[in-house]
Amino acid sequence: MNLKIDEVEKEAQESFLLSTPHTPFLQSSLWGNFQEKIGNKVYRMGIFKGSEIEGITSAYQIKAKFNSYLYIPWGPVLVKWSRETAVKIVDRLKEIAEKENLDFIRIEPRSIDESDVSTLKEIGLKETKSCTQPECTSLIDLSKSEEELLSVMSPSTRYNVRNVERKGVTVREGGEEDLKIFEKLLKETSQRHKFTADIHLDYYKNQYEILKKENIMDIFVAEFKGEPLAASLATFYGDTATYLHAASSRTQPQLRAPYLLVWKTIQESKQRGYRYFDFWGVAPENSSSNHPWSGVTSFKMSFGGERVCYAPVFDLPTSNKYLFSKFIEISRKPVKKIFRI
């Protein structure tokens, strides 16, 4: 097949990704810009057959407190998987990991079939339960009319969406100055639900500044008589709007502002011409109440989306520190709760 792995120009990377259904923004050059801003080294690679791009892989070099690794979220993104392609990609990733003295490589492909899973295992990767991104999401098809979207909601959610607005709650598109509102609400949310979050305004500020500059992120704020009750950061990339970060106030819970915030974001996404609305993360079906996404799953699923689950996650050890890294990761997991509302 004469495939080769080489650095890919950002424009070519974007052109390839934007033709992919349910476009994976974590593999975009724009998300790579954000990763570079927060100090992670980024490798943008194309899989070429002659001059034609057969796929892309954005890999992020992560240096955490207890380990360092090369991370490929929602990738590689390929026209077609094959054993030769997998071997070439993994060999290139191993070269980088060995050069940078990293502990392991983590690949989180979004969609591969059973034969591809077998191929990855055959060439040395290990399936792991250590998901960095959500293993499932709820996806709404925005090609439906607003009446159809309302009709597939649960009766209580449909009632809340309509009733919240009648009570005087409004939703507006905000700006950079509203990041402080988001940070305050996130702190309230973490205290109320007793979860640990990396609450650093610079993280969200950098993300917003870079992605807003490229017109792929906006902030939305739900208010009642000028008082912020909920806020969210949503990405708009390719054919998909993603409800990426959200938080709400402990005051006026009877107003149920998050319901209207979600609905108005769905309406805005549809008006902008996006095909899908991605809730970002839900627990798998029949999972236990201890699952990190269980706290928000019923809320998100009540909007009538389809639960979509992704492919397994794979690790490739590249140093003898891998087992120690896994031990630390597993031992810390019970005290790290993910929460999005």
The tens digit of pLDDT for each residue in 104-161 reads 999 999 989 999 999 999 999 999 988 889 999 999 999 999 999 999 999 999 999 9
Encode pLDDT of 277-317 as tens digits: 999 999 999 888 888 888 889 999 999 999 999 999 999 99
Does domain 136-307 match CATH 2.60.120.10? no
For the cut 50, the answer to whether the pLDDT of residue 338 exceeds it is: no
Q: Percent of the chain beyond pLDDT 90?
A: 77
More confident residue, 301 or 322: 301
Per-residue pLDDT at 335 exceeds 60:
no
Rounded to 5°, the CA angle 200-205-207 comes to 105
For residue 190, name the pLDDT band (cuts at 50, 70, 90): confident
Determine the 3-state secondary structure of 239 from DSSP.
coil
Domain 3-133+311-335 architecture: 3-Layer(aba) Sandwich (3.40)
Entry pTM: 0.91
Helices (H), 18-113: 29-37, 83-99
> Over 70: is that where the pLDDT of 79 sits?
yes
Q: Please tell me the distance from the alpha carbon of residue 250 to that of residue 26, in angstroms, as a whole number.
A: 31
**Average pLDDT for residues 55-70, to the nearest whole number?**
92
Q: Please tell me the predicted confidence (pLDDT) of residue 241.
A: 98
Same fold, 3-133+311-335 and 136-307: yes
Confidence band (pLDDT; 50, 70, 90) for 324? Answer: low
Distances (CA, A) of 288 to 135, 150, 228, 299: 14, 29, 33, 16
Question: Beta partners for 40?
Answer: none
List, for residues 82-93, the tens digit of each pLDDT value. Answer: 999 999 999 999
**Could you tell me the residue ranges of all domains in the chain?**
3-133+311-335, 136-307
